[in-house]
Structure 1
Amino acid sequence: MMSVTSIARNKVLPFLRKSTKMQSTASLSSLVKLEEKQGYAVVSMQKTPVNSLSLEMIQALSQSLIELEKNKCKGIILTSACPGIFSAGLDIREMYQPTDDRLNQFWSSLQTLWLQLYGSKMATVALINGHAPAGGCLLAMCCDSRIMLNGKSKIGLNETKLGIVAPSWFKDTFVNTIGVRQSERALQLGSLFSPEEALKIGLVDKLVPDMETATAVAEAELKEFLQIPGMARYLSKMKIREAAIKDLSETREADLNQFVNFAKTDAVQKGLGLYLQSLAKKN
């Protein structure tokens, strides 16, 4: 009988190959910076101004993980090279008046990235050095540990405030991180938490006062994970995560169709259009 992990990998690999063909090495390095160190790597998102998760950005992150696994990297620190922002989440422009092909590629690529990162054999630490709403929060929750810079930044799944419903695998990741009741309330209200609030509910594991301290703490946290025998650590993680991974692996086409149909409804398109107008006025 195949393990859940094997099932997930068999369903992810075809999408990884497609993504790899679509992105060149040059475009990858312009969006994601890889600094390979002894036994681990720092993965820095650098899509100015806010690391919005466009199709290209999502595929660049996927390719980064492929590259690191190919190089037998044992762990990563996921962070941002953009001051004051970890990631602003999914690029709304990908969902507003999209072509069918682009929208399908966008969501399929996001599914793939989540399956890769949430089920990674590498030890993963998120160094959250700025705002992390929606998809930014999802990326952080996919990691094994979250270190957040203290201050005015916010983190959470705020999709409902845009008239969007977080899909089941977002919900599963949230529940596995902060528990059922906190997730139920936060998902309905689209709550964004301060660093102190996030620490209190377990959305982040540690707060740090500045970037110099943050880097040192993230490295120490990663090294603590890497001291554990790799297979034992990974299989222990999968005891918690495998049900969610199996669920998406087996239903990703249905999830894709559900998202595409929902995103194209008049109500959602109107809400996204108004939101983009409000951003334009701010700029």
Structure 2
Amino acid sequence: MQFIEVLTTGGIAEVVLNRPKVNAMSQAVLREMTDVFRRLADDDAVRGVLVRGTGKCLSAGLDLREVASLDRAGLAGFLDDFDAAFAAAFRFPKPFAAAVHGHAIAGGLVLALCADFIALGAGDHKIGLTELAVGIPFPGVAFEIVRAACPSRAFRRLVFGADLHSPAEVFEMGVGDALSAEPIEDARRLLARACDRPAVAFRFAKASHRKEAWERIAASPPPAEREALIDALLSARQALAAPLGG
């Protein structure tokens, strides 16, 4: 794969995003995400997955320059790939940890919120869901992931506030399972503990916890809702390009 590397040791697969400079999620990255999560879910030799990024960023979210360049048909295809990638991550049945060792913004944070265990790195990097600040509505899959993962106060501050926060602020909201200078090691530790326990019981508990969200994701959005989302993206082109200097 071009942008995602999978390193497997002792039944633990580390999924590493590697698209310099900020691991932005292009359509190609989304397609690789879908393939990786589906393949690892079906691989009996893999007991659990850890997601991290290269450099100083888990991911800054979607490739906004690419999104801003697409016409209506292109955006429809991009959204299909977005839905498939994040549904595959959120429906991953085995223990799943995320190491937020740098910036995790918009789709980057949504990816971390797909995990069962989130280790936040203490530091001056930024974390947040900035979609509403630039006029991007949440696709249904992303909305369900955030709603399932965040306590009510964190949901309101992250989604409706649409600001960037420090890892300590996010942890204080109730998001994350560890906050330290070594988030990758913390994520590995949390994951190893889960993977040492009976897999069937874990899968059952995870499926029970996420059942309602999975069912809402599986229900196809009404055509009018998808068209309204595409309209909003088309109207937000200028704002989408601005953060990238476009």
Establish whether TM, by shorter chain, passes 0.5. Answer: yes
Evaluate the alpha carbon distance shift between residue 101 and residue 91 of structure 1 in structure 2; reply closer, same or farther with a 3 A threshold.
same
Equivalent of 1:79, from 37, 52, 59?
Answer: 52
- 1:178 Cα deviation after fit: 2.2
Structure 1 letter corresponding to 2:238: G
Aligned to 1:125: 97
Aligned pairs for 1:58-137 within 5 A? 58-72=30-44, 73-81=46-54, 83-137=55-109
Larger Rg: 1
Establish whether residue 186 from structure 1 lines up as the match of residue 158 from structure 2: yes
Amino acid at match of 2:144: D
The number of equivalent residue pairs is: 245
Look up the match of 2:202. Answer: 233
Residue-by-residue CA offset, 1:78-112 (whole Å, 9 max, x unaligned): 0001x211101112234324134432221112111
Question: How much does 1:262 deviate?
Answer: 2.9
Cα drift, residue 45 of structure 1: 0.2
Gaps of 5+ in 2: none
Percentage of pairs with the same residue: 22
Structure 1 position 243 matched with structure 2 position 243: no
Equivalences for residues 19-38 of structure 1 within 5 A: 28=1, 30-38=2-10
Q: Give the distance between the partners of 1:44 and 1:130, measured in 2 at CA.
A: 13
Unaligned runs of 5+ in 1: 1-27
Q: Give the C-alpha shift of residue 60 in structure 1.
A: 0.8
Q: Say which SS state the counterpart of residue 68 (structure 2) adopts.
A: coil
Partner of 1:280: 245
**TM-score normalized with structure 2 length:** 0.91
Please, what is the CA RMSD of the aligned residues? 2.0
Runs of 4+ residues deviating >6 angstroms: none
* Cα drift, residue 176 of structure 1: 2.2
Structure 1 segment 6-17 matched on structure 2, within 5 A = none
CA–CA distance in structure 2, aligned partners of residues 189 and 158 of structure 1: 8
Q: 1:263 to 1:217 in 2, by over 3 A?
A: same
Which of 261, 264, 270 is residue 228 of structure 2 equivalent to? 261
| Deviation by residue 1:16-67 (Cα, 9 ceiling, x = unmatched) | xxxxxxxxxxxx2x20011011111111000111111111001111111233
In 1, Cα distance between equivalents of 2:216 and 2:168: 32
